[in-house]
Amino acid sequence: MLGDEPATTCSLLSPLPEQTTVTFKLDWDVVSTADGDVMAGGSDILMLDEDGRIKTDYMFPGP
């Protein structure tokens, strides 16, 4: 159930690239706000369109 899930926050582990980048990789963790434990993580490869909006997002969940 949705209400039973612990509160979490997402932490970006890699710096954001410059605006001119069209394809880039982000590393991230999902962290419990209660105790700081890392609950999940992974990487995303994002491809932007000409307006800088996300066109494609390839998500690679971590172990």
Instruction: Compute, in degrees rounded to 10, the torsion defined by CA atoms 13, 46, 16, 51.
Output: -160
Whether 40 and 29 have beta carbons less than 8 Å apart is answered as yes
Instruction: Give the chain's domains with CATH numbers.
Output: 2-61 (3.10.450.50)
Each residue's pLDDT tens digit, 2-41: 456 667 777 777 776 665 568 888 888 988 988 989 899 9
Q: Which parts of 3-62 fold into alpha helices (H)?
A: none
* Burial class (CB within 10 angstroms; exposed 0-12, middle 13-18, buried 19+) of 12: exposed
Q: What is the pTM of this model?
A: 0.60
Write down the pLDDT at residue 60: 93
Pairing state of beta strands 23-32 and 38-48?
Answer: antiparallel
